[in-house]
Amino acid sequence: MRKLSRRHKKNLEITKNTTYSNLTEAIEALKLTATTKFVESVELHANLNIDPKYADQQLRTTVTLPHGVGKQVRIAVLANDENIKEAELAGADLVGSDDLIEKITKGEINFDLLIATPNMMPKLAKLGRVLGPKGLMPSPKSGTVTSNLTETLNEFKKGKFEYKADKTGIVHVGFGKVDFTSTQLADNLIALYRSIEQNRPSGVKGKYFKSVFICTTMGSSIKLNLEMFA
């Protein structure tokens, strides 16, 4: 059996067999488990009563958290010649047309988010196997296929991001850093929970949330009582 580190044992003393019903106490416990030498991210893991193999039980949407997630996102824009100037002026980190497609084909993916204009999507079809597994394929549902590059870039620069449930029906998503204030983390967590709640797939019957946990990058899982969000 793998030997637990002293740090992990201390974290388990805080979190093991405990379900937190108070948001303030849960955030405090979260911060106490962040004992590494780097600034850890904080994450939400929500187990949902969905089966994503059915189209009406899939969850994929976007959210903008009140205080962002503490991460700078490098955004690339795929557009034709007449839209390239707009993308550059709106603050895109990387802009291109056929030349950008060629770079992606070669495996040069130097961005965290790819936005495309509708007229460029047919050219991207062949790159689905490259971009899909990395979660970088633009789609209208996630807001990354757009004709309004200025507005879209402004939204994503302000912290808008996409999240989705994995094939087992669990949402894994970051909602900040441990050096955020407790109030900022609580605000972000509530906003994220509400987003998941409001985007409940139409095919869900009965109870939607099975369980919700939060944790730091290297910390123990902290179970939340769902009633705290009521």
pTM listed for this prediction: 0.80
Q: Which of 98, 104, 142, 105 is nearest to 120 (CA)?
A: 98
Sorting pLDDT into bands at 50, 70 and 90, what band is 11? low
E strand spans, the chain: 19-20, 41-48, 60-63, 75-78, 94-96, 113-116, 161-164, 170-177, 209-216, 222-224
Residue 49 φ then ψ, to 5°: -85, 65
Q: Can you give the pLDDT at residue 125?
A: 87
Whether 142 and 62 have beta carbons less than 8 Å apart is answered as yes
**pLDDT tens digits, residue range 103-152?**
999 999 999 999 999 999 999 888 988 998 888 999 988 889 999 999 99
> Could you give all domains of the chain from N- to C-terminal order, each with its CATH number?
16-68+162-229 (3.30.190.20), 75-157 (3.40.50.790)
pLDDT of 12 strictly over 80: no
Q: How many CB atoms lie within 10 A of CB 196?
A: 22
